[in-house]
Amino acid sequence: MNTLNDVVTFGEIMGCFVATTPGRLSDVSEFERRLAGSELNVAIGLSRLGHHVGFVGVIGDDPIGEVARQRLSAEGVDTIHLRTDPVAHTGLLLKERAEYGDPQVVYYRRGAAGALLRSGREVLGYLSSARHVHATGIPPALSGSARAFAFEALDAARAAGCTISFDPNLRPSLWQSRPEMTAVVGALAERADWVLLGVEEGCTLTGRSEPGEIAQHYLRRGAKAVAVKHGARGAQLFTAHETISRPAFAVDTVDTVGAGDGFAAGFISAALTGDTPADQLARACAVGALATTSAGDCDGLPTVDQVEQLLRRDSVYSHAGG
């Protein structure tokens, strides 16, 4: 196999304007410009962890598109299949500076360039020449062509022997209806080797409320590992042979958005490295926790050294605690 990248992912990149002070978005007048997009976050996370990563997507011919392209290149992510559309604009979002819990996020992404993702022989060949493909449930919500691309991408990846990870990233506001969202995202999730999902997403998609039953739903359909995330309470990893649980790492959280993408980056990195399931879960939780230490969605993503430091600190505490 002609392996160009360890991982290729695809999705929408947005400009992210983060309020610099707490309060209702309509009351705040100063915002910091950053970048967002679940798959962009995962790409940057994996690159910082030392992997060769490619990103497939569409941006506008505008300042945010320019920032995105420069940023991905600076992070070492391959952008050969990041297309610039001459007409559509790059999507945007506004994000609250929350003092507690998840911040309010408002999207300006309808009709944006990210929805112009479409299939083609070259891009599918690029994607399936990677060792691993990471996908989320966001692109299929954006447009018919992006949805078709998501299915073709996963089918091509599978046919080429790549492993596939999938994070549903349910965004009900982007879908026409919940049944449509559940059917489409569920069908994509069932194509993955590693399903990484929040417990509530698992309930929505499978109709089960117990983490073990959610995991069984995917294990029975061919997944090799299912990670169920419980936010600040930690996460569980289920395989056919074992169930592992671990608490979340305590860090100084500034903003919770991007934790799931950090989790995905840490998990994929560890799984591709051949770490044990327990280490995969620990690294996923460590990267997810560190991702929350910055106001931006991808700015807190750690390097290998920062992950190691957090893992060492944790093992010192757990030994000291008996």
Smallest separation, CB 80 to ligand KDG (Å): 22
CA–CA gap between residue 137 and residue 189 (Å, rounded): 8
**Binding to ligand KDG (CB under 6 A): which residues in 176-235?**
none
Establish if 15 lies at the interface with ligand KDG (CB under 6 A). Answer: no
Establish if 37 lies at the interface with ligand KDG (CB under 6 A). Answer: yes
Establish if 261 lies at the interface with ligand KDG (CB under 6 A). Answer: yes
**Binding to ligand KDG (CB under 6 A): which residues in 86-125?**
105
In the annotation, is 261 catalytic?
yes
Which residue lies nearer to ligand KDG by CB, 44 or 244? 44
Q: Pull the structure tokens for residue 89.
A: 């604009």
Sign of CA dihedral 282, 288, 294, 299: positive
Identify the CA nearest to 263 among candidates 198, 203, 315, 206. Answer: 198
**What is 204-229 written as a DSSP string?**
HHHS--SHHHHHHHHHTTT-SEEEEE
Establish if 150 lies at the interface with ligand KDG (CB under 6 A). Answer: no
Out of 137, 260, 266, 288, which residue is the one contacting ligand KDG (CB under 6 A)? 260
Sign of CA dihedral 200, 249, 131, 47: positive
Out of 9, 41, 143, 253, which residue is the one contacting ligand KDG (CB under 6 A)? 41
Q: How far is CA 247 from CA 16, 121, 148, 275, 311, in A?
A: 30, 43, 38, 19, 13
Segment interacting with ligand KDG, rule: CB under 6 A, options 35-43, 211-219, 234-242, 303-311? 35-43
CA–CA gap between residue 43 and residue 11 (Å, rounded): 10
Residues that bind ligand KDG (CB under 6 A): 36-38, 41, 105, 138, 171, 257-258, 260-261, 297
Give the active site residues: 261
